Amino acid sequence: MSEWISDTPFDPKPARHGEPPQVVVAGQRIFAHRAERLRQLAARLPAMGEFLHFSALLCQAQHRTSLDRVSTVGFDARAWRVAVEQGVPPLTPAALLGSLDWRDDLDALLETLDAILAREGERFAAQRLLLGRLIDVAAQRRLALARRLLDHAPIPRDTRALAPFVGGALQVAWTRLARTLEPLPGRPLAGAEGRCPCCGSAPLASVVQLGRQRSRTRYLHCGLCATEWYFERARCSQCTGTAKLDYIGCEDEQGKRGLALRAECCGECGGGLKLVDREWEADAEPLAEDLASLGLDALLDAEGYARAGFNPLLAFGD
């Protein structure tokens, strides 16, 4: 029997040879891959260079935290199995936010990121001050901020700058946890196709994949746990409609494509979700491309479409 080798930061092997897997959890290098891609984009897009470089450092800290910290929280595997058998996402934040040790991940993330930023000199001195503020934030305020992020609720102005660090810790905790699921859930049931089968969160974007097992296959990419699940092309992930889809790209004035993505917009529900195409650029990564294309969000808003992607590293106000 031949050994299967992953072509992307995701695995595992599909159930049957030649058939694309329905659900794929993130591998251990997901945050490192994001950091590498963000550095590439920072060099390509000078106007966003500082923001993308800092985001790369945050993802680098997430990678180190995910490797260095081992969760001490145990869960009932039988309850997970029952949830999976019934088609219910077993890792819903509503059920686990109070018991999962994401706060320990947050403390470790802040310490690791502060050390990384210190090596950058004065370049990110303001961001280091924000880390100090978050360290002093009481546990209940941290919890309230996490709840607002997960509920896609507006973040108050006085804590908005702190939200990406909390979101980063939530991603570390849930991505680690999703890798422990056994068996993996199947594709979401009808009516819930646009929600992550592992944690029930909304997708950050959709991605057309590469690789021997998944070439030219489209998946939705979870904003929280980075799980990917199969979703047909030319179909709205919000309402599943197919009749009124439009695609808006981010070309420059010369019509040259700057990023490996476009937005899939639905005239039926008014939602717009970014579509990353790794056939255009093999190194493209959903979260990195999302952060680098905030101008596309502004364009969608001007066209009357609402952003559908969920990115815990982005905090929005009213």
* 217 and 88 housed in the same domain: no
What's the CATH number where 261 sits?
A: 3.90.1670.10
* 139 and 209 housed in the same domain: no
* 33 and 164 housed in the same domain: yes
Strand locations in 209-318 (E): 218-222, 228-230, 245-251, 257-266, 271-277, 306-307
Which residues have a Cβ under 8 Å from the Cβ of 293 and sit 6 or more positions away? 250, 259, 261, 274
Confidence label for 17 from pLDDT (cuts 50, 70 and 90): low
pTM of the model: 0.91
Q: Which residue has the tokens 């090596």?
A: 119
Domain contains 209? yes
**Mean of the per-residue pLDDT values for the chain?**
89
SS3 221: strand
* 75 and 154 housed in the same domain: yes
Give the CB-side neighbour count of residue 203, counting CA atoms within 13 A: 27
pLDDT in tens, 29-48: 999 999 999 999 999 999 99
pLDDT in tens, 165-210: 999 999 999 999 999 998 889 988 888 899 999 999 999 999 998 8
Domain contains 294? yes
pLDDT in tens, 208-243: 988 777 778 999 999 999 999 999 999 999 999 999
Which residues have a Cβ under 8 Å from the Cβ of 216 and sit 6 or more positions away? 208, 209, 279
For the chain, the domain total comes to 2
The identity of residue 91, as a single letter, is L
Domain extent at residue 125: 23-178
* 167 and 272 housed in the same domain: no
Domain contains 313? no
Domain contains 12? no
Domain contains 146? yes
Domain contains 77? yes
* 234 and 173 housed in the same domain: no
